Amino acid sequence: MPDEMQGPLERYEERQREEKKAAKVALLALVDQLRTAGVSEVIATFSGYGDEGRIEEIEFLDAQRQPASLSKEFPNLEKTFDVLLPDGYEDNEGSSGVVTLDVEHGRITVDTNWNIIETQNQCYEV
């Protein structure tokens, strides 16, 4: 659909899809470099609530799941991982989770724990 025929929501959603696709390509392009550095996984921990959220930490793990200090070698990963976070993770009660780049298999997964407030009502006549 041409841009001029799309509404604001459709344009926003299309832009989001393109940004996520570009972030995935950017992370997967680092796989060989990470593998050479001895990294088997990159884990970005995130959390959010009340209209705010962020990447809390990025860990580089070797094959024995031991941390490797490589944050200086890959300084812009936080922004790239941030694009892959689920829409709305920072809203209301929010959510938390991890985005994992599996270097060995070239896979990216997002594991999210959504915070939900449950309200139970009880009404009776006495």
What topology is assigned to 3-114 in CATH? Answer: 3.30.500
Q: What mean pLDDT value characterizes the chain? A: 90
Span 42-55, pLDDT tens digits: 999 999 998 899 99
pLDDT at site 4: 63
Measured CA distances, 4 to 1, 7, 9, 10, 16 (Å): 8, 8, 13, 11, 18
Q: Supply the pLDDT for residue 110.
A: 95
- The per-residue pLDDT for 70 is 82
Among 45, 55, 34, smallest CA distance to 106 is for: 34
What's residue 72's pLDDT? 79
pLDDT for 19 beyond 60:
yes
Tell me: the pLDDT tens digits for 52-84?
Answer: 999 999 999 999 999 988 877 888 889 999 999
Task: Say how many residues make up the chain.
Answer: 126
pLDDT at 1 over 70: no
What is the average pLDDT across 92-105?
A: 94
Name the token pair of 88.
């709305």
**Region of residue 111 (left: phi > 0; alpha: psi -120 to 50; beta: else):** beta
